Amino acid sequence: MSNALGTFVEIASAGLTAQIELFGAELFSLTDAVGREYMTDADPTWWTGHAPILFPIVGGLAGGRFRHEGQEYTLSRHGFARGRAFDVVERAGDSVTLRLVDNADSRAAYPFPFVLDMRFTLAGMVLSMEARVSNPGDGPLPFSFGYHPAFAWPLPDGGAKDEHQIVFAQDEPQPVRRLDAAGLVALEEPTPVRDRVLALASGLFEADALIWDRLASRDLSYRSPAGARLDISFPELPMLGIWQKPGARFICIEPWAGIADPAGFAGTLSEKPGIMLLEPGAERSFCMDVAVHPAD
């Protein structure tokens, strides 16, 4: 499937249809059987993204650079996977696997062999996404990974926008982190979660994203007052960002295994907070499931 915006693959179940753009392996659309859209409208007034894949870093680097074996490399915020075309390696009516492999261009910014597979599967009313990072090289692979989906706010037929909530599976008493003007982790403030509930309001994001780096939950529910909700699970991802452009019609719910540099960080990439080291021949997976519950 193609249109003016790019080339897509479409998968479907009895209850849902998803479109995934090959450029960036980005979830573009998620609709139910009556055509209700659960993803962002991508209004360019606010933000044109849909669901970028964050790899090989999450967030920004101090000075936009990292150090490895005495060399400096430049890498943009959230890494380069969102700006690369993936190849289709497996496809069925209800699933697709897309792959990104290192090349000369990627190694100029990130000098490591890697394979990143993104698998999307629909079963009934559940979208499952699995990222699998493999290390085909002969040395450790330092990396982070994150999801960045922008869901419709308000949810379709969900009622008043300012009555939407995110309900966490566990109590979340730890302070949240905030970014400074350079996009680095520099600030801390008390949690806005009360009795496991985050009451959504655009004012929460005037100072950019809310970041939980000491997250207790691995499940949450994004709920509307009219009953529509998305139940989201992310068992292998220990951090979370929630973000929007204040006033926009989306809310980004972003499970992460990784985080931006702290302000003043001057270590190597392997010492960066949130970086994982994958041994040669090893692989690691990160799953995110979204169960769609339409409005009554």
**Mean pLDDT across the chain:** 96
Is 66:60 a contact under the CB 8 Å cutoff? no
Backbone angles phi, psi at 218, to 5 degrees: -125, 10
Cα–Cα nearest to 251, from 272, 224, 289: 224
Assess if residue 223 is contained within a domain.
no
pLDDT at 6: 55
pLDDT digits (tens, 9 = 90+) for 276-296: 999 999 999 999 999 999 997
Q: Which domain does 138 fall in, by range?
A: 2-158+243-293
Assess if residue 173 is contained within a domain.
no
Cα distances from 243 to residues 135, 203, 252, 294, in angstroms, run 31, 11, 5, 23
- Helices then strands (H, E): number in the chain? 1, 25
Q: Is the pLDDT of residue 2 over 70?
A: no
Q: Is the pLDDT of residue 5 over 80?
A: no
Question: What total of structural domains would you count in the chain?
Answer: 1
pLDDT digits (tens, 9 = 90+) for 200-231: 999 999 999 999 999 999 999 999 999 999 99
Assess if residue 76 is contained within a domain.
yes
What is the CATH number for 260?
2.70.98.10
User: How buried is residue 228: exposed, middle or buried, by Cβ count under 10 Å (0-12/13-18/19+)?
Assistant: buried
Assess if residue 132 is contained within a domain.
yes
Cα–Cα nearest to 294, from 38, 13, 51: 38
Q: Is the pLDDT of residue 72 over 70?
A: yes
The alpha helices in the chain, defined as continuous H runs, are 104-109
- The three-state secondary structure class of 171 is coil
Parallel, antiparallel or unpaired: strands 65-68 and 71-74: antiparallel
pLDDT digits (tens, 9 = 90+) for 79-111: 999 999 999 999 999 999 999 999 999 999 999
pLDDT at 4: 38
pLDDT digits (tens, 9 = 90+) for 141-163: 999 999 999 999 999 999 999 99
| Count of other CB atoms within 10 angstroms of residue 198 | 21
Assess if residue 247 is contained within a domain.
yes
Q: Assess whether the previous peptide bond of 154 is cis (omega < 30° from 0).
A: yes
Assess if residue 269 is contained within a domain.
yes
**Distance separating alpha carbons of residues 88 and 215, to the nearest angstrom:** 34
Assess if residue 268 is contained within a domain.
yes
Cα–Cα nearest to 120, from 148, 98, 142, 143: 98
Assess if residue 41 is contained within a domain.
yes
